[in-house]
Structures are given as structure tokens and as C-alpha cells.
Amino acid sequence: MAQYPLKKIFLIDDDPIHQQIAVLMLQKAEVVKEVISFHEAQAALDYIRAHETEPEALPEVILLDLNMPVMDGWAFLDAFEQIRDGLLASVRIFIYTSSINYHDRLRAHQYPSVTGYLVKPLSREDIQRIADISHS
């Protein structure tokens, strides 16, 4: 049985193709036991709120797209920062976006929960960085 450095990653992205590629790459790299995908940021936020006192139900890492309809990544981050201190698990967020905008990168790092900024598509180096940073 494989020893995974991470137990659970949430992938929040409205693009099914990028979602599928990222999930396959994470599984192939064997860095995480379970990847749970959300097509809407609000659904992920609702799940986190419903399980905030259950550390085993929460992810160690969230890969968050910025540009999504209804609730975008910025709105998710604003809401997440409000509940972060009440969570019984440490959750690190990596922005996972197609945006190469310098201002988006600067803005993302204003959020204490944001650990990194990754530009799509996910690379092997990105996956190793997620595993290394999240396991330290």
C-alpha cells in the first residue's frame, strides 16, 4: 500500500478538462490519497463550513481557480479567511489559474492562507512543490 504525503486535496475549478488533467496528474504522482473536485467554489465552501470541526474530512491542500462564474476564487478566499481560524485542520491554498497577471499574483499573496500560485496546466514540478511545502 502506497504511503502518500497528503491525505486529501480539494480541486476547485469550473473547467472540467483542467480538472480532469489535474486529478490524473495528482493520482499518477502518488502524492495524495484522495482528490475531491468541486465545479463551484460555493459548494466547496459549504462543505468546509459543514465539516469545520472534523479534521479528517478537511483537505490539507486546496487548488483554487480564480476565474469562475457565480463565486470566483477571490470571493472564496474572502469567505475562507473568515472561517480559517475556526477549522480544526491546517488548510493550505494554492492558486491554480490560467491568469499570468502580475497583479493577481500580488493580490493572492495578500491572503494568509495562500501558500503558492500555480499557472495551469499543472506540472510535475508544481505537484512536487505542493507535496514538499504541505508536508513541511
pLDDT digits (tens, 9 = 90+) for 5-31: 899 999 999 999 999 999 999 999 999
C-alpha closest to that of 95 among 113, 79, 83, 81: 113
Phi, psi of 76 (to 5 degrees): -60, -45
pLDDT, tens digit, 9 for 90 and up, residues 85-136:
999 999 999 999 999 999 999 999 999 999 999 999 999 999 999 988 766 6
Predicted TM-score of the model (pTM)? 0.95
Band of residue 1 on the pLDDT scale cut at 50, 70, 90: very low
Domain ranges in the chain?
6-109
CATH class given for the domain over 6-109: alpha beta
Mean pLDDT calculated for residue range 57-84: 96
